[in-house]
Amino acid sequence: MKSTPCAAIVGAGRTKFAEHWDEDPRSMIGKAGMTAFESVDKGIRRRDIDACYFGSFLYQVTNKIGLVPGYMSRELGMNVPMINTEAACASGGLALHNACIGLQSGNYDAVLVAGFEKMTDRQDKITDDLMFAADPHEFEAGYTFPGLYATMMTRYMYEYGNGDARCEEALAQIAVKNHHHCVRNPFAQFQEKGEITVDEVKQSKIVANPIRILHCSPVSDGASALILTRPEIAKQYTDTPVYILSSHEATDHVSLYTRDNITGVNATRIATAKALKAADLTIDDIDIAEVHDCFTIEEMFFLEDSGFYPKGEAWKHVYESCESFKGPSHIPYDKNGHELTVNLGGGLKADGHPVGATGVRQAYECFRQLRKEAGGNQIDRDVNIAMCHNVGGTGGVATVHLLARDLE
């Protein structure tokens, strides 16, 4: 394992993901940010923060606001540099990546990272708005994001499912598993909905064949925040920091029609390989992962693109593991019985997906799990290495972060 992390998380906060009719983006990010401050064990002052990094995608369109750094200066009571990043659904992950670079550069000692989105104000237009993250030719051809992912899912099922009904079942099982995990997450959008079944997924409304409504993440409002410091000073603020071992971003074609392959995400493969190499880890070292499952097929892609399974094999292992479901562990993926648990908070599918908040929320969940502070949805085995995986669009951007509680 890499001995010198690039950053340390010392505090974290978030709002519930839901339809927040009475909130605006500024108040949500203010609440998440102040909760993060309050969570720092030994305390941290606003004047200790050298910079803030924000991730958001649609705020100008959905909420008719601009100059977010100015609003955040007012809400958080700080006059430090405030950097806003946009990378569609990977905006939060990119904000976290840029924050890590800022700390590694030596310019800053402590920073705030936050992501937010208020999507329900444009419920009637959100399908069109999200297509800003796609190629204009795809939009003009009539595609929506469910349509784009339906194209990828159809090709995957054709190439690797070979007509086997279990492939479709496995994609439904991912949704079932993530709803199972969200039931004890008090911040999750679908906590109150409870468990769902494979039959409910398969019988739910078609959105873009073969994608059904229960394969999809929801339209959400919410915010999440982290306090990061340089690793060497983290214990000034908490006795139990969570270290970011490595942080990487990769990019690829925005459009599907110019890619060599649409049954995976090349940016995920590149970012994961670089993150593992930088941390001196292998994929077998990962205990838990918060994965970008905007549609269930994206979680399947992750399992193969990151190297947990060979190409075209993940659906078989998902099916087998879910058929013999034994508690919170998702996939015993190797011959030694090493267990990978994916999306303990419920993922985008069930926790919710306020686009800019997602990448930061993933790190929040891993932070809580590694510190054994996740309450009712705390994993029931000891874990030390976590991965956060955030994707923009259909794979034009991917960020990967590797986190650890203990460095030895």
List the chain domain ranges.
7-124+218-404
Out of 42-51, 80-89, 107-116, 215-224, pick the least confident. 80-89
Q: Establish whether 167 is a catalytic residue.
A: no
- Write out pLDDT tens, residues 186-226: 999 999 999 999 999 999 999 999 999 999 999 999 999 99
Model's pTM, two decimal places? 0.95
User: Quick one: CA dihedral 59, 64, 67, 72, positive or negative?
Assistant: negative
- Write out pLDDT tens, residues 329-374: 455 545 566 788 999 999 999 999 999 999 999 999 999 999 999 9
pLDDT, residue 327, reads 43
pLDDT, residue 296, reads 97
Q: Which residue has the higher pLDDT, 160 or 408?
A: 160
Residue 328's pLDDT band, with cuts at 50, 70 and 90, is very low
Is the confidence at residue 65, as pLDDT, over 90? no
- Write out pLDDT tens, residues 247-263: 999 999 999 999 999 99
- Considering the candidates 6, 89, 100, 167, report the single residue annotated as catalytic: 89
Is the confidence at residue 66, as pLDDT, over 90? no
| CATH class for the domain made up of 7-124+218-404 | alpha beta
- Considering the candidates 353, 388, 389, 401, report the single residue annotated as catalytic: 353
Q: Establish whether 6 is a catalytic residue.
A: no
